[in-house]
Amino acid sequence: MEVRGLGQLLAALAAALFVRAIAGPGPALLPPAEDTEDEETDAEAGEGGGGGVQPVTIRWARITCALKNKRGEVARFLLSNVSGEAKPGRLLALMGPSGSGKTTLLNVLAGQLTASPSLHLSGYLYVNGRPISKSGYKIAFVRQEDLFFSQLTVRETLSLAAELQLPDTWAPERKERYVNDLLFRLGLVNCADSIVGDAKVRGISGGEKKRLSLACELIASPSVIFADEPTTGLDAFQAEKVMETLRQLAEDGHTVICSIHQPRGSVYGKFDDIVLLYQCPDHMNPAEFLADLISVDYGSAESVQSSQKRIENLIETFSNKALVTEAKDSIAKPQESEFSAKVVRKSSMKQRGGWLRQFHLLFKRAWMQAFRDGPTNKVRARMSVASAVIFGSVFWRMGKSQTSIQDRMGLLQVAAINTAMAALTKTVGVFPKERTIVDRERAKGSYALGPYLSSKLLAEIPIGAAFPLIFGSILYPMAKLHPTFSRFAKFCGIVTVESFAASAMGLTVGAIAPTTEAAMALGPSLMTVFIVFGGYYVNPDNTPVIFRWIPRISLIRWAFQGLCINEFKGLQFEHQHSYDIQTGEQALERFSLGGIRIADTLVAQGRILMFWYWSTYLLLKKNRPKYQPLLPPLEEDQHKQQVE
C-alpha cells in the first residue's frame, strides 16, 4: 500500500515501540479497557466457516516476556513493555533483525507461546476493547514450517480439512463449492490436483505450500490471521505471491498480523502500518534501512558502541514525545479482576460429526498416505528382499546335524530382530512429524484422538503386513526351514504380529521424543535392551532377578520363542552320542524355550501391542501443547513486592 504523509507520525510511533521492545524498557503505558458499543460476539455466528468475517481490533499494552535463570532471576528480556494495535482491514508487519522478538510477540498475541517454567509473561491484551478472556474470536495461525500429509493432493488436503471443520448440516455440494472458492482465492487452482510432496517426492512449491496453509486456516472464517515470517525460504516471486494473498485477505476485512525479517521493496509496499521513524535516504529499500537502524553492529568495539548509542537515542526521543497514560487504581483493579490468567486460542471449535464419521475420514486419509508413499514402500520392499536373500545365503538349506541346531537358533533370532527393527525405524522416522500435524488439527477441534489412532492402526495393516510376508516367503525356502505349509504360515504370522508390535512401540517413542532425531536415537536404544533379553543371548533361567520383568515385555523374546517352537517341534536331528540332542523338543528344553504354545506367544505379543498403543494414546492426550499464561502486570508487581 502507498505510504501516506499523514500516517508517518503514527508509523513513527509504531517503529519506536518496536525499538523499545528489542532494546529495553520504555514509558509505562496502561490503557483502560474502553467501553465499546459493539454487540457481544455470537459464538455461533459464522461457526465452522462460510460466515462473514467479524471485524476485530486487537490492542496490547505493557507486554513483557522475560527469561528466568535457575534461581528465578530475570536473565534477559525477550520483550519489554510492548504496546500496539492491529485493526481490521489492515496488514500489520512486525519487523526487526534476527533475535529481536518478532516471533515471540506474534506468539503472545495469538496465544501460542509455548509454556515454559523459565518464562514469565505479563501484559494486557484486549479484543474490541474487552479483555481477551471475555472476547471469543477465531484466529488463524500460519507457522514458518508448513506440514502436511505428503501423499495427498492440494484439493484432497483442503477437502478433508473442510469435512472435519465445516458443519454437518452443510450439503456435500456446498462444501465442494466452498473448497473451490478457497482454491480460487488463494491461487491454488493450477496445482489443486498435484500431491503436496516432501523431501522424498517432488510436489508443490514452497509458496504454494504457504498458501495451502492459509487456505486450511481460512476454513473456519477467522477474524484475525497471524503469519510467522511467511516469506522465509521463498524466492522473490513466491514471496510476492504470498504477501499479495495476505494483502487481499486484509482487504476482505481480516485483521492480518505478520512478522517479517527484511522484505524487498515491493513486499514492503503492501504493508499498511510500516513507516520509518527517520527519513529514509533516496534509492534505498525502506525495510533494509529500518532493520539497519535498530540493529547492533558487532563488527568492532567502536561500531557496537555507536550503534547502541543510536538505539538509546531513539528510545529517549520516543520517551520524550510519546503520550504516557497513567491508570487510576479505581480503574486498574476492575481490569485486573476481569483479566483471565489463561490466554486460550479462540479458534478452537466443537468437534465435527460423531466418532464413526471422524474415523471414516481419517481412515481414508491414512489409507491414501500409506499406499501412495511409493518411495518409502519401495525402499522397505527392497530391504525386505535384500535381508531375506542375505540371511538365506548365509543359512543356505540347513540340514539336521547337531550344528544346525545353533544355526537355526541364530537364523530365527536375526529374523526376529530384523523384522522388529525395520518396523520400528520406519515408524519413528515419520511419526514425530505427523504428531505435530495431529496436534495442530486437534487444537482446532477437528477430531478426537481415538478415531485418529484407530484409523491409523487399521489403515496400515495391509501395507504393514506385506513386508514381513515378502521377507518370510524368500527366507523360508532358502534356509530350508520346517518344510510344511502350516509351519510356513505360522512363521509369517508370528513375524507379522511382531512387526505390528514394533510399529506400536515406535508410535510411543515418537510420542515421547520431541524431534525425529531424538526418536531415531531413543527407539533403537530401547530395542537393543529387548534384544539382549530376547531369549538367545541370555537364557531366561539365568536372567538376574531384578531384570526378569524385561523378557516378559520384550517383543523380540516372544517372537523368537514362537518361531523356535514352530521350527523345532517335531524335528529329528542326527546324533552319534547319547548326550546329543535328538529331537526338537529337547532343543527347546535345553534353551528354556519350551513349555508353552505358539498361540501363547501370539497372545503375549498382542498384549505388548495393545500396551504400546494405549501408552501412545495417553501420552498424546497428556502432552498436547500448553501455552504460557498472560499475567496482568499489576498483579506481578504486587507479587514481586510480597517476595521482597
Distance separating alpha carbons of residues 554 and 558, to the nearest angstrom: 7
The H-assigned helical ranges of 549-644 are 549-553, 555-568, 584-590, 598-622, 633-643
Count how many domains the chain has: 3
Please report the pLDDT score of residue 315 as a whole number: 67
Same-domain pairing of 80 and 102: yes
- Cell numbers linked to 262: 527484511
Residue 342 included in any domain: no
Say what percent of the chain tops pLDDT 90.
31
Is the pLDDT confidence value at 282 over 60?
Answer: yes
Same-domain pairing of 363 and 465: yes
Same-domain pairing of 195 and 231: no
Kindly report the CATH number assigned to the domain that includes residue 83.
3.40.50.300
Residue 128 included in any domain: yes
User: Given pLDDT bands bounded at 50, 70 and 90, which one contains residue 38?
Assistant: very low
Residue 516 included in any domain: yes
pTM of the model: 0.75
Same-domain pairing of 126 and 188: no
Cβ-based burial of 27 (10 A; exposed 0-12, middle 13-18, buried ≥19): middle
Helix (H, G, I), strand (E, B) or coil at 256: strand
Highest mean pLDDT among 37-51, 307-321, 553-567: 553-567
Domain boundary among 244, 279, 295: 295
Is the pLDDT confidence value at 212 over 50?
Answer: yes
Q: What is the dihedral of CA 234, 85, 22, 304, to 10 degrees?
A: 80
Distance separating alpha carbons of residues 172 and 149, to the nearest angstrom: 23
Same-domain pairing of 382 and 431: yes
Distance separating alpha carbons of residues 209 and 202, to the nearest angstrom: 12
Closest CA to 62 of 630, 576, 617: 630
Distance separating alpha carbons of residues 376 and 422, to the nearest angstrom: 12
Highest mean pLDDT among 55-64, 337-346, 596-605: 596-605
Residue 339 included in any domain: no
Query: Is 455 in contact with 359 (CB distance < 8 Å)?
Result: yes
Same-domain pairing of 485 and 450: yes
User: Which position has the higher pLDDT, 170 or 541?
Assistant: 170
Neighbours of 528 (CB within 10 A): 12
Work out the mean pLDDT of the chain and round it to a whole number: 79
Say what percent of the chain tops pLDDT 70.
81
Query: Is 393 in contact with 541 (CB distance < 8 Å)?
Result: no
Same-domain pairing of 90 and 185: no
Residue 34 included in any domain: no
The H-assigned helical ranges of 186-298 are 206-218, 236-251, 265-268, 286-293
Please report the pLDDT score of residue 639 as a whole number: 47
Same-domain pairing of 158 and 272: no
Pairing of strands 255-260, 224-228: parallel
Distance separating alpha carbons of residues 54 and 59, to the nearest angstrom: 16
Average pLDDT over residues 260-287: 69
Question: DSSP string of 456-475?
Answer: HHHHTHHHHHHHHHHHHHHH
- Its domain, for residue 155, covers 148-221
Helix axes 555-568, 403-443, angle to 10 degrees: 140
Same-domain pairing of 153 and 230: no
Same-domain pairing of 375 and 452: yes
Residue 309 included in any domain: no
pLDDT tens digit sequence for 108-161: 888 888 888 889 899 988 888 888 765 567 888 888 888 899 899 999 999 999
Residue 638 included in any domain: no
Residue 28 included in any domain: no
Same-domain pairing of 75 and 214: no
